[in-house]
Amino acid sequence: MAGNIATLTSANFDETVRSADTPVLVDFWAEWCGPCKAIAPVLNELATEQAGKLQIGKLNVDDHGDIAMRFNVMSIPTLIVFKNGEAVKRLVGAKGKGQLLQELAEFLPASR
Amino acid sequence: MSQHSKVLIIGSGPAGLTAAIYTARASLQPLVIEGEPSSTSDQPGGQLMLTTEVENFPGFPEGIMGPELMMRCREQAARFGAQFLTEKVTKIDFSARPFQAWVRDQHYTADSVIVSTGAQSLMLGLPEEQRLIGHGLSTCATCDGFFFRNQEIIVVGGGDSALEEAQFLTKFASKVSIIVRRDTLRASKIMQERAHANPKISFVWNSQVTKIVGDASVSGVELRDTVTGATSSMAVTGVFVAIGHRPNTDLFRGVLDMEDSGYLITKPGSTYTNIAGVFACGDVQDHTYRQAITAAGSGCMAAIDCERWLEAQH
């Protein structure tokens, strides 16, 4: 657990994305992936700023390849948004914060 | 809100970061708008962020990982007071001084500008590419090689980056075919020797990929023989493209002088562009050498040109 970001594993993945009362953004990443490291600070910021609207979890594809395979992840970073346990949106490749917010706008009710 | 700096550096590969180290040491407190995360080389740190081991950068006899080299350069610049903004410039206006740049609605002004936005890898330009990126078609071998364990894949291209990617991918794939447009390679001799010595690598000469086949993910490619025109198909699950680069100069079109290919034109032997006070360094103005060390060298030149130009303004 790093700040507001949940560490997802083969053991807790299904439970986490199913039971969440907000959409869950899952970051499929690995230690050896440069672009994955580059978006880590962006995800940390989003987790703090969007707390209560969007939950963020990280899944290490090296350690939990079964989950990555289940969702046909063949490129990282891949970000998948889950709503009630269903994968509803998939973003492939690292993106900046502005671009990411735009892509995620449909899941972030404008309450401010 | 507007922020002013003496030196604005756009881009943060070896050229931009070297310019930042030099101008920061000269107490010019540069602002580096370093770019935003991406899975292409158009990202903070530039092309080296997608490479593995760099063996030819002087001072690292054991080699150094590309991303680590860039992280160290960034730290070095920060140590002397360079400021970083992890965003991508969206608009510029160099028609009057101070020069202006925007990141969306954020406004920046500067007495001088160093352009070091680098180059990004070319794609094949096939309509199915957008659909298949991340589903077998990759822009980042170091990110995605892992997913092709024991699979047969191709690398398209005949230069050093193609051969380096192929070499790296043999750690995972069972077979890597390199699709080369001609019957020779552009790559350096040492890379060619390594590729030829690698039993998992084979070459398909005089061939061009005309189509990537696959619904949910890549299942093969169609090839055309560039000599006979004959077509053939090949079953592969992964496609990695390394056919060259294009400079990241869309932002400066119509403002800075550039070649038809988009590379910025600098005054020979210097980093001066057509606008006094705007300098260019690194791959954005170099289609000949395109090395980390030459980019760093020209970044140093830009910093010195810039520093002297600023002094002469008073």
Mean per-residue pLDDT, B29-33:
98
pLDDT at B116 over 80: yes
The pTM assigned to this predicted structure is 0.88
User: Are B284 and B118 contacting, i.e. CB atoms less than 8 angstroms apart?
Assistant: yes
pLDDT of residue A82: 97
> Is residue B129 within 8 angstroms of chain A, CB to CB?
no
- Reduce the DSSP state of residue A81 to 3 states and report it: strand
Which CATH superfamily does the domain covering A5-105 fall into?
Glutaredoxin (3.40.30.10)
As its CATH architecture, domain B123-241 has 3-Layer(bba) Sandwich (3.50)
The Cβ of residue A32 has, within 10 Å, a number of other Cβ atoms equal to 16
- Reduce the DSSP state of residue B15 to 3 states and report it: helix
Q: What angle do CA B13, B15, B18 make, to 5 degrees?
A: 105
* pLDDT under 70: residue ranges of chain A: 1-3, 111-112
pLDDT of residue B40: 85
pLDDT of residue A4: 86
Q: What is the CATH number of domain B2-120+245-313?
A: 3.50.50.60
Q: A45 to chain B nearest CA, in Å?
A: 13
How far CA B179 is from CA of B79, B160, B162, B174, B176, in Å, comes to 44, 13, 9, 16, 10
Quick one: what percent of chain B has pLDDT higher than 70?
A: 100
Beta carbons within 8 Å of A22's beta carbon, 6+ residues apart: A52, A53, A54, A55
pLDDT at B113 over 70: yes
* Helix intervals (H) in chain B: 14-25, 66-79, 129-132, 141-144, 160-169, 189-197, 292-312
DSSP state of B230: -
pLDDT in tens, B163-196: 999 999 999 999 999 999 999 999 999 999 999 9
pLDDT of residue B52: 85
Q: A40 to chain B nearest CA, in Å?
A: 10
pLDDT of residue B47: 92
Contact (CB<8Å) B144/A30: no
Domain residues of chain B, as ranges? Answer: 2-120+245-313, 123-241
pLDDT of residue A3: 61
CB contacts of A71 in chain B (<8 Å) are none
Contact (CB<8Å) A95/B134: no
Mean per-residue pLDDT, B80-101:
97
Burial pattern A71-88, b for ≥16 Cβ within 10 A else e, equals bebbbbbbbbbbeeeeee
Options A36, A59, A76, A81, the catalytic residue = A36
The band of B207, judged by pLDDT with boundaries at 50, 70 and 90, is: very high
Burial class (CB in 10 A: 0-12, 13-18, 19+), B288: exposed
pLDDT of residue A111: 56
d(CA B154, CA B78): 40
Q: What six digits make up the tokens of B59?
A: 């001072």
Contact (CB<8Å) A74/B50: no
Domain residues of chain A, as ranges? Answer: 5-105
Mean per-residue pLDDT, B250-275:
97
Q: Whose structure tokens read 């680590």?
A: B68
Contact (CB<8Å) B143/A35: yes
Among B37, B133, B134, whose Cβ lies nearest the Cβ of A96? Answer: B37
pLDDT at B254 over 90: yes
User: Are B237 and B136 contacting, i.e. CB atoms less than 8 angstroms apart?
Assistant: yes
